[in-house]
Amino acid sequence: MAPPTPSPRPGPPPTPQGGSLATPLRTPASKHRLHFPATTPKNAHHGGGVGAATEHPVEVIGRIRNLSSGGASALEIAGGGTAVRVRGDAGGCRDFTLDGVSVSEEEDLEGFYRRFVRSRIEGVRVGAKCTVMVYGPTGSGKSHTMFGCAKQPGIVYRALRDLLEGGGGGEGEGSAGGGEDDAGFGAGLFVQVAVLEIYNEEIYDLLVGSGANAKGNAPKARLEVMGKKAKNATYLSGNEAGKISREVAKVEKRRIVKSTLCNDRSSRSHCMIILDVPSVGGRLMLVDMAGSENIEAAGQTGFEAKMQTAKINQGNTALKRVVESIANGDSHVPFRDSKLTMLLQDSFEDDKSKILMILCASPDPKELHKTVSTLEYGAKAKCIIRAAHAATPRDKISSEESSTMLNSRIVAMNQFIYKLQKENKLREKERNEAQNLLRLKEEELTQVRAKLKLIEGQEKAAKEEEINSKVMEKTQTLRSELTKMEEAMLRQQEELTALKQRLQEVEHEKADARQPVQQDFIGGRLLARLSEMPAGLDQSMSMVMSMELDTGDQPQDVKVIKEDTRQQGHIWNHTGTAGVCTGAVVQEDDVRLSGYPEKFVLSTVFEEGDEEDAERDSGLEEVCKEVVQESFKVDTTQHALAEPDDPATRKHRIENIFRLCGNHREVAKKPKVQSPTKEVFADENRSPAKHLFGEESKSAAKQAYGNENREPLAWGALETPMCDVKVAESPVSSQLSPIVCQVVDEPLSEQLKSCSTVEDSDQNKENSFAGHKEQDGLLEVYIKWESGNLIQGLKLLQNSCLSDLRKLIEAHFEEAGGKEQHQFTFLLLRDPSGAPVSREKEASVQISQLPHWNNQPDSYLACLRAAKKPAVDHMPFSPLDSKLNSVVKDTHLAGVLSPKVNQMSPNYIRELRA
């Protein structure tokens, strides 16, 4: 039961410093039980002041809310702001002296907080323990004072801000404030916050189930009290005022409220917010008590409502009894009567703990009874004193000094901790940024690696495809070439077989003829030569060699027709021959066998097996035939072949033929053997040629060899007329390639010109010869000795050099039989020094470097100086050379061979392999 409200006793009004001295507000019952401290005005004003021998641990502040309904206020401030005067309906009044009084109409929550609460928070920051509780009837403004409203935050949020931010910050709901007193306390603190609800004498943890992932109506956790504290309570930890304030605001809404007649949102439970500051050992307990109310006044009906109200009042009543017990000095204080007093036990018993009790009262006259009851309760609590031990002056000084030092150390530690926390935050932020950057770099690296791998794969595939395509291409080319080579070899073998058969046929025919010896001599040799040809040689030959022996009514000339010389751009025409021209171009070593008894023509034909070449040769073949026929015509008309050559010349020519056939040695070593050929040659009168051309007439050979009678001076040095030898690509003539040599018999040309008026055929022949010269683009070189004797005229290719010319001249000398003349050197007349050209440099001196002959563009003059050193006795037609070996060993000669030869040459095969 609440003690009866003391009736105001008339007396002098309380002084502004506190009316406790002048007006002892004591209830009769407590008069002898309570020890009213002799408080000084200072102590009374500031509250919490420490007396000389006793301590006043409970400070009571009156908070009068504004009047919601009209009418006069039943309360007024008295005693200089430390007392509340309650005016009754009868005009009487009663004053209650408190530690302070605040009227909400005059002072908002901010002012109230700064004037009465903030100093307590400062103490907590340095390790003090303080309990701030609001007490009053329902609807008096307890929750409003503790939590505030939307416009102004209450004590809870302001205390959080001051604790965590040192009073200098401003964030969230605790950011309101300003002025000089808003100066911060220093660095922020780390706090632990627990929010408990005491409802129906049960303790609930409001933080349980209030997290971000919590559902709206999550059940509250019920806690047990162990000792003086709730067991296993949940704490909010941190130093961010805004974050913790938001959490507390959210939790506060979980309180059980109910609409009553006195309050639309009446708190049905006590709410306790506990803020521990571990770093300094401070503790702040904020207690919003449920309204102490009259059940009938609150309109609570029903058993449950009555029981609920009874429970609320149980806590309030237990607190009153505790206060009275403490105030009366009882040996037993009933802290265990309720959960609220159990949790508040430390607040009353701990010497370092102080209590700030805020009495909320309504100025409504209808609430006068409850207001007086509350003030009496506060007055009783204010009477609580704590016996203090007598302190010596020394202890007092040391205590003050140590307190100051500890406070300064605490502040320093707090600042240091705050600094560390800031640095930690900064480093954590930098670490996060570095991790993000590293992650981005790793992603870029992964992408680049993937691209590189892709590119490498593409390049590798492209290279493999390219290599494969090249290999396939080369393989196909080689296969085709191999096929062609095999076909060519087969053709060669077939033709060789045909030649052998042909020779056998000829041999048979000759066996029936009247000249068996000669037949055996020539045909047998050719057959033997062909038979001796090794198979490998046959296969390696790029040319198809054929020899044709023909008999007929033609003059018995031996015609050596050599292979195509078109590679050298030369077409040779000869007079006085009637041989069969089976090659594309005929080049003859025309040796007249005037003494041969039969009309016998031996022709050696080298023809290419390539059908395409044969087609191209067809035109030239026609020309050749025409020329041969025309020559025969001229000879027939003029009976030109008047006399055979002297025996030595004839022998030499025959030897040439035999060389071609490979039997030179036999002829040379057996001069005494009367060969059929010799017999034939000896009997010149029996020669059909003699019969045809006549002895007096000028023979074609004579024309070709030069007319010494017409120009004796010019040809004085000519020992033996050069035979008309055209050497082209053949096994025998390969030593003279690539030059094309022929005798340029200028007098003969002149003679032919002179004869052109007589015979049209001569004109045709000359035109043909000139035409060939122009078409061939040959160079005419006239040879003379240094003494001035003209030797002979020759024809060479455009790119011929002195070494080529030397070969021709030496061949000429050998033909002439004067070996002493083989030794000579060229004089380079164009050179100012006129020095002779060494043998080594002849290959590098082109014919075009020689001086022109008679200022004609394609005619040149070569001057020879006789040398003493004997020249090498080289037989141009040695048996070794006449092996019919067409394999070109000299690369210099390879370029002038036929395409077929070139294709089959080792160089050409190496190129194919490459």
Ligand X SMILES: Nc1ncnc2c1ncn2[C@@H]1O[C@H](COP(=O)(O)OP(=O)(O)OP(=O)(O)O)[C@@H](O)[C@H]1O
DSSP-H helix ranges across 231-383: 241-252, 295-298, 303-328, 339-343, 345-349, 368-382
Phi, psi for 545 (deg, rounded to 5): -100, 135
Longest dimension (CA), the chain: 198
Residue 908 structure tokens: 């050409």
In one letter, which amino acid is 344?
Answer: L
CA gap 656, 882 in Å, rounded: 10
Shortest Å, Cβ 152 to ligand X: 9
If the CB atoms of residues 196 and 360 are measured against ligand X, the closer one turns out to be 360
If the CB atoms of residues 40 and 200 are measured against ligand X, the closer one turns out to be 200
Q: Which stretch binds ligand X (CB under 6 A): 143-151, 411-419, 694-702, 810-818?
A: 143-151
If the CB atoms of residues 98 and 290 are measured against ligand X, the closer one turns out to be 290
- Residue from 239, 263, 328, 341 that binds ligand X (CB under 6 A)? 263
If the CB atoms of residues 18 and 141 are measured against ligand X, the closer one turns out to be 141
- Residue from 97, 140, 575, 821 that binds ligand X (CB under 6 A)? 140
Strand partners, 203: 198, 223
87-96 contacts at long range (C-beta below 8 A, 24 or more positions apart): 88/368, 89/365, 89/368, 92/7, 92/8, 93/8, 94/5, 94/6, 94/7, 94/8, 94/372, 95/8, 95/13, 95/14, 95/19, 95/23, 95/25, 96/25, 96/62, 96/375, 96/376, 96/378, 96/379
Asked if residue 118 binds ligand X (CB under 6 A), the reply is no
The answer to the question of whether 73 is labelled as a binding residue is: no
| Cβ neighbours, 10 Å, residue 447 | 10
CA gap 79, 507 in Å, rounded: 171
Asked if residue 267 binds ligand X (CB under 6 A), the reply is yes
CB 740 within 8 A of CB 568: yes
Q: If phi over 0 gives left and psi between -120 and 50 gives alpha, with beta otherwise, what is residue 179?
A: left
* 360-389: contacts with ligand X (CB under 6 A): 360
If the CB atoms of residues 65 and 502 are measured against ligand X, the closer one turns out to be 65
If the CB atoms of residues 267 and 803 are measured against ligand X, the closer one turns out to be 267
> Mask of contacts with ligand X, 486-525, x by CB under 6 A?
----------------------------------------
Shortest Å, Cβ 267 to ligand X: 4
CA gap 798, 257 in Å, rounded: 128
Shortest Å, Cβ 108 to ligand X: 8
The answer to the question of whether 876 is labelled as a binding residue is: no
Going from the C-alpha of 889 to that of each of 103, 322, 802, 840, the distances in angstroms are 134, 136, 21, 20
Shortest Å, Cβ 99 to ligand X: 19
Phi, psi for 363 (deg, rounded to 5): -80, 0
Shortest Å, Cβ 255 to ligand X: 9
If the CB atoms of residues 142 and 659 are measured against ligand X, the closer one turns out to be 142
Residue 96 structure tokens: 């209650």
Shortest Å, Cβ 124 to ligand X: 24
Asked if residue 290 binds ligand X (CB under 6 A), the reply is yes
SS3 85: strand
- Residue from 85, 142, 320, 807 that binds ligand X (CB under 6 A)? 142
Shortest Å, Cβ 147 to ligand X: 8
The answer to the question of whether 143 is labelled as a binding residue is: yes
Cα 156 from chain centre: 63
Torsion 797-799-805-808 (CA) sign: negative
Asked if residue 269 binds ligand X (CB under 6 A), the reply is no
- Residue from 5, 97, 143, 269 that binds ligand X (CB under 6 A)? 143
If the CB atoms of residues 360 and 723 are measured against ligand X, the closer one turns out to be 360
Shortest Å, Cβ 144 to ligand X: 4
Shortest Å, Cβ 158 to ligand X: 15
- Residue from 6, 37, 79, 141 that binds ligand X (CB under 6 A)? 141
Query: Rounded to the nearest 5 degrees, what angle is found at the Cα of 690, between the Cα atoms of 684 and 694?
Result: 135
- Residue from 56, 85, 125, 144 that binds ligand X (CB under 6 A)? 144
Residue with tokens 């205590």: 399
Q: Which stretch binds ligand X (CB under 6 A): 136-144, 241-249, 348-356, 846-854?
A: 136-144
- Residue from 8, 14, 209, 291 that binds ligand X (CB under 6 A)? 291
CB 807 within 8 A of CB 735: yes
Asked if residue 174 binds ligand X (CB under 6 A), the reply is no
If the CB atoms of residues 260 and 792 are measured against ligand X, the closer one turns out to be 260
If the CB atoms of residues 67 and 894 are measured against ligand X, the closer one turns out to be 67
Q: Which of 543, 492, 876 is nearest to 729 (CA)?
A: 543
If the CB atoms of residues 66 and 402 are measured against ligand X, the closer one turns out to be 66
Asked if residue 316 binds ligand X (CB under 6 A), the reply is no
If the CB atoms of residues 132 and 723 are measured against ligand X, the closer one turns out to be 132
CB 318 within 8 A of CB 338: yes
CB 579 within 8 A of CB 588: yes
Shortest Å, Cβ 338 to ligand X: 17
Helices 155-165 and 241-252 cross at an angle (nearest 10°) of: 160
If the CB atoms of residues 139 and 738 are measured against ligand X, the closer one turns out to be 139
End-to-end alpha carbon distance in the chain: 125
The answer to the question of whether 141 is labelled as a binding residue is: yes
Peptide bond into 671 cis (omega under 30): no
Q: Which stretch binds ligand X (CB under 6 A): 23-31, 140-148, 691-699, 725-733?
A: 140-148
The answer to the question of whether 136 is labelled as a binding residue is: yes
If the CB atoms of residues 151 and 332 are measured against ligand X, the closer one turns out to be 151
CA gap 530, 523 in Å, rounded: 10
Asked if residue 104 binds ligand X (CB under 6 A), the reply is yes
Shortest Å, Cβ 376 to ligand X: 18
Phi, psi for 709 (deg, rounded to 5): -70, -30
Q: Residue 105 has what DSSP assignment?
A: T
* 753-782: contacts with ligand X (CB under 6 A): none
CA gap 425, 283 in Å, rounded: 26
Shortest Å, Cβ 63 to ligand X: 7
Q: Which stretch binds ligand X (CB under 6 A): 131-139, 189-197, 579-587, 693-701?
A: 131-139
Strand partners, 100: 61
Cα 561 from chain centre: 71
Shortest Å, Cβ 308 to ligand X: 12
Asked if residue 638 binds ligand X (CB under 6 A), the reply is no
> Mask of contacts with ligand X, 213-252, x by CB under 6 A?
----------------------------------------
SS3 174: helix
Asked if residue 139 binds ligand X (CB under 6 A), the reply is yes
Asked if residue 575 binds ligand X (CB under 6 A), the reply is no
The answer to the question of whether 137 is labelled as a binding residue is: yes
> Mask of contacts with ligand X, 48-77, x by CB under 6 A?
-----------------xx-----------
Number of residues that bind ligand X (CB under 6 A): 19
- Residue from 266, 699, 730, 751 that binds ligand X (CB under 6 A)? 266
CB 816 within 8 A of CB 719: yes
- Residue from 20, 102, 138, 519 that binds ligand X (CB under 6 A)? 138
In one letter, which amino acid is 541?
Answer: M
Shortest Å, Cβ 266 to ligand X: 3
Known binding-site residues equal 136-143
The footprint of ligand X (CB under 6 A) covers: 65-66, 104, 136, 138-144, 149, 263, 265-267, 290-291, 360
Known binding-site residues for ATP equal 136-143
